[in-house]
Structure 1
Amino acid sequence: MAVVPLAPTATLARKTGIKVEMESAKLLNGRGQLFSEPAPGPSFSSSLCQIFLLLALFVPVAAMTGCAGLVSGGSNPPSPLTPAITAQPANQTVTAGQAATFSVTATGTAPLTYQWQKNGANITGASSSSYTTPVTMTSESGSTFDVVVSNTAGTATSNAATLTVNAAAVAPSITTQPASQVVTVGQTATFAVVASGTTPLTYQWRKNGTAISGATSSSYTTAATTSSDNGAQFTVVVSNVAGSATSNAATLTVNAAAVAPSITTQPASQAVTVGQTATFAVVAGGATPLTYQWRKNGTAISGATSSSYTTAATTSSDNGAQFTVVVSNSAGSATSNAATLTVNAAAVAPSITTQPASQVVTVGQTATFAVVAGGTTPLTYQWRKNGTAISGATSSSYTTAATTSSDNGAQFTVVV
């Protein structure tokens, strides 16, 4: 833009709010600032410069070559705005080995500069509106991060954001496997597992390899079973953020509805001698498992819980005792008939109280020998002639056949 010399007076400026500073010819830049170089070009009359002043009413800043003066608007440039943080950095939670990112949003006159701090100390190179940590360690858990935002007008410091660093996740491992179950039709079965690993752990039970809807806890109870469930395999998959583990299979055995016990062979009565033992036995049918409880004279015998029972060594006081057994299962019980124990006195060896007497006969006659003996019955007898057992001579007396002269002097004895 060409300029003309200004007149030495500028009364118009006071009326319009335009400031005119008279100086020797200088150049102006576009912001109303003086250049130090001399204004080249011809000089113009002061009237032309006054016309330029009128134009300056509509132009914020103007200068013309040859006009020794400065023309500028009446208002100063706006002051810079100090930084203000509009979005604070947020707390972060990561697992050891991961990185964490913090960010801030701020306003204010540009340019804005940023300096991130960890636990109050500047972080080298952390000079943008966001900061990403190196891979974290558990020892850094609880550290605080803030940022100082600056410009020519001042600074603003953000709130502190906390970094939480959790230990690296451990995959699940099963410490107690689910156990196989045996039930009767209509009953339920419960399977359970114990697992370790980083929480939270999730569970999914499966039947024959297919996920069971809603079976997502550490134990699972079936619906009422049917015979078609017999042999089913149950497993559970335990999972967390680090992986999963599948349990061993547990088998479900479903037995037919229980049948109450029935006794098919009753215990038999026993006879023994004092000091001997006696054994009683029973045979029963019904749904297994069957349990047994033997009783003596109506009182349960401790430890007598099998299908047979053998007494201790008997005494005469056991004579006439009554033995029964109660057979039980889940459907009911059955009591046997009573078996009687007879205990006899201890046996007494035979003793001969009347010896056989010698006999005198005539040839052709018979001779009879007899003995009387005591002792525990039954007693048995065996007669002998000259030391040789006589066939059939097994009673307390013996009568010979018709004698001959050769029988003279024969010796007869008996073993009782």
Structure 2
Amino acid sequence: ITVNGITDDTGAPIGLNSTVNFTAWKLVSGWVTREVYLGIAGATVADLEAAPNYPDNPDQVSWSKTFELNNEPLLNQYGARLSAFFRPASSGAHEFYLNNDDEAELRLSTDQSAANLQSLGIFPLNAPPFDANSLATSPALTADQSYLLVGLVKQDAADVYLQVGVRPPGSTQAPETLPVLGGFLISTFVNPDIGNVTFKRQPTNVTIAAGSRARFSVSVETTESPVYYQWRARGINIPGAVRSAYVTPVLATSDSGKTYDVIVSVAGKDTLSTTASLTVTPGQPSNLQPYLGINFVGGGGGGPGGPMSAVDVAGVVQQENWNSLTGFAFDPATTPITLLDAGGNNSPVTLTVAGTESWYSGTTTTGDADGALLQGFIDVGAATDPMTFTLNNVPAGTYNVLIYSIGFDFSAAYDEAFSLTGGGTYPTYHVKAETGLSYKANPAYRRMSSTNQSAPDSGNYVQFDSISPAADGSLAISATWESANAGNGHQPAINAIQLVKVLPVVVQPNLGVTAGAGNITISWPASANGFVLESTAALGATASWSVVAGSPNPITGAGSINASAAGGGSQFYRLRE
């Protein structure tokens, strides 16, 4: 743009016929502006507002897809301001719910201007989930009109978070089920020159056997954070697939040909990856099938990690529908919790454990579901007494039990012992669990299996093979701190527990072919019991298979049949169950 007779913001004239390049910020839906002010003592909103750098000189500015701040950054003594335009979908008074640590204030303007902001209330610390203890009701709002919404939070030490949810007029939705405010209801201004994404690794094509899962991942480089991911299958968003890696459900040959890509979003800008294709070949499912997984979400100053979503696939034996438990003490007599199985259905299993705290390992920075699984853990503090986990009402059967253990970084050695009591006699493992730093340096599962306390091996999980529950349906897992080092007060570390069903190995029968003079003998083993022998003259989508004349239908044991080789034509045979 060329301007004349204009002064700059200091009052100095801009030269005649000067050319100035500028960027116009744009309004984008689904984003919130976050401003952070560092080095401010105190735990009240008044302390934030009294700081010399508030409000015009924030130390950090970022953009979030939801109206929340969650330990970002993980520091002490700072405050934050979140702002966005709230555009209600319906008219009337709205209820705003807050989770916050420490004190927070919510302000709502009568229009889009900061000059007309009005306080909806100042709120003391209120931990999740949303509840009536931290509720602010707005004046009557007009549908599709934008109102400036501002949230302030001041933290003194340890955790810092602010989350805002909203319930529209007439809604009876339980507050604890409300999502954090986001999507089309909010918008803010962003600089279009930032938010650029460079793909260091794009999704790659995958070929895999039926009965397995495929993994797609990307690696990106950005100049801003946080970074958001949304995976798509055939151009349609996959709900909950919001990490840098995505693992599919168990695949069938009918899934072959699907395509996958990911939208990477940062600072109000979306960037689409290249597309990867999936090829699924015939195969058989493993005889190891996940039954139930428990993930301890963790706490302390570990930063965001949080519960895993239902579609997050993680574990040595990959599964979704992990039960993400917040807290460290569980007793079905006083705090009954319904545990889901790997299929997402209610299971009869309950958990009993008396930990004393939840803490974190730091593995969530790997960006995938495995890092989230190993992020949190529960422990008994500085005690050296055993911590016992009892799984009650486990259905009869044969299982592998996996116990995941990655500890806090600031400990010389996580020497631990794991034992299991059930329907048999099982070894005690004496091991040295990794810390989060070790895992992040080489993210992979490493089994620990030493039974010699003087020579523990290192890794991040132990596995008890082919176990069965006791007669009363219980499995008791004991974890004991064995390190000569006094530890760090966060010991021993149990991140997750997984029950895996061990099913009988099914051996598929094979046909035998013996050529003779003018005839062919087709034979089958006893394992073909229940199958039928079929043949066709041509393969392909239009193949017409029919039962071979003279063969048992169905087969009841080992046997054979003679087939004529005359005529020179091709004939194909198969066993079908």
TM-score of the pair, normalised by structure 1: 0.25
RCO comparison, higher one (Cα < 8 Å, 6+): 2
Computing the radius of gyration from Cα coordinates, the structure with the larger value is 1
TM-score (norm 2): 0.18
